[in-house]
């Protein structure tokens, strides 16, 4: 069964600290993995997208890693800011899947305190 599991479910950190969010998936055959940031009541915004051959991709203070062998990904946030408070969703698509068929994790709710 194609699934995406994220941990932790929620996380509280102090402003300026770093954190790492985890994503494990069983989607097969794998096509790509995306991390989205979703502010409360808003649509998800894409942070990174990685294909099978990529193992690291950065977008400013966000760095995503992918280990396609162990089917794990992480999102590392450095020097956190109050505006980083949001839900971070891991989304995986399968190669050759029906158009639009994405597998969503439940997200990690990150709260950054001053």
Partner 1 sequence: DTEVTQTPKHLVMGMTNKKSLKCEQHMGHRAMYWYKQKAKKPPELMFVYSYEKLSINESVPSRFSPECPNSSLLNLHLHALQPEDSALYLCASSHPVTDTQYFGPGTRLTVL
Which is closer to partner 1, CB of 61 or CB of 95?
95
CB of 79 to partner 1, least distance (A): 26
Which is closer to partner 1, CB of 63 or CB of 97?
97
CB of 47 to partner 1, least distance (A): 11
Which is closer to partner 1, CB of 53 or CB of 98?
98
Q: Give the separation between CA 35 and CA 12, rounded to whole angstroms.
A: 19
**Which stretches of the chain bind partner 1, using CB under 8 A?**
31-32, 34, 36, 41-46, 49, 89, 93, 98-102, 104-107, 109
Checking 40-46 for CB contacts under 8 A at 24+ apart, the result is 40/86, 40/87, 44/89
Whether 17 and 68 have beta carbons less than 8 Å apart is answered as no
* The dihedral formed by the CA atoms of 76, 73, 34 and 58, expressed in degrees to the nearest 10: 40
């Amino acid at each position: 069964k194609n699934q995406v599991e994220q941990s932790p479910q929620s996380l509280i950190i102090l402003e300026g600290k770093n954190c790492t969010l985890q994503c494990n998936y069983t989607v097969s055959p794998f096509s790509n993995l995306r991390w989205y940031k979703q502010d409360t009541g808003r649509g998800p915004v894409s942070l990174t997208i990685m294909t099978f051959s990529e193992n690291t991709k950065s977008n400013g203070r966000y760095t995503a890693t992918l280990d396609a062998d162990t089917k794990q990904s992480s999102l590392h946030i450095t020097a956190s800011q109050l505006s980083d408070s949001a839900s971070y969703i891991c989304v995986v698509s399968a190669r050759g899947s029906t158009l639009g068929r994405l597998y969503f994790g439940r997200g990690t709710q990150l709260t950054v305190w001053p």
